[in-house]
Structure 1
Amino acid sequence: MLDYVKSILSKVSFDKRLFEKELVKAMALLVENELQNLKEWCYQTFSSKHGDVLSKHLAHI
């Protein structure tokens, strides 16, 4: 499931609102260890473009 979520987030990263929507959906689908991996990957991949969205939704993980 994590690979699927990464694929979706990569495809929608051009649009901030869509990215945020898909990130929230992804967080509901994943289990705890996958969430940690998603957080690390998101910050490595999208921090320059969507850092505010990531901080808003992933800071508590």
Structure 2
Amino acid sequence: MARAMFEYTKTVLKKVSFNSDLFCKELNKALKMLLPYEVDELLIWLENYTENKPELIGCLSTIK
């Protein structure tokens, strides 16, 4: 079940990536909900996903 939450989180983040405020809000919710090792995986995924989306990179600076 936990893996399902990780995949769901990625789906939600992809869907709200058009708006950086929503993206940051959903990212913060996900960080509270996911397990520590899933957060580490999510950070790796986020670095790759936001590579060509400079408007979303600001959200990453708040979690590192």
Judge same fold: TM > 0.5, yes or no. Answer: yes
Q: Distance in 2 between matches of 1:16 and 1:51?
A: 9
Q: Distance in 1 between matches of 2:51 and 2:19?
A: 14
Matches within 5 A, 1:1-61: 1-49=5-53, 50-57=56-63, 59=64
Q: Distance in 2 between matches of 1:55 and 1:44?
A: 14
Structure of greater Rg: 2
**5+ unaligned residues in a row in structure 1: which ranges?**
none
**TM-score, normalising length: structure 1:** 0.88
Higher-RCO chain (CA-CA 8 Å, sequence separation at least 6): 2
Provide the identity percentage: 38
- The structure whose residues are more often helix, as a share, is 1
Q: Name the aligned partner's letter for residue 36 of structure 1.
A: D
SS at match of 2:18: coil
**Runs ≥4 in structure 1, deviation > 6 angstroms?**
none
User: How many residue pairs align between the two structures?
Assistant: 58
**5+ unaligned residues in a row in structure 2: which ranges?**
none
**TM-score, normalising length: structure 2:** 0.84
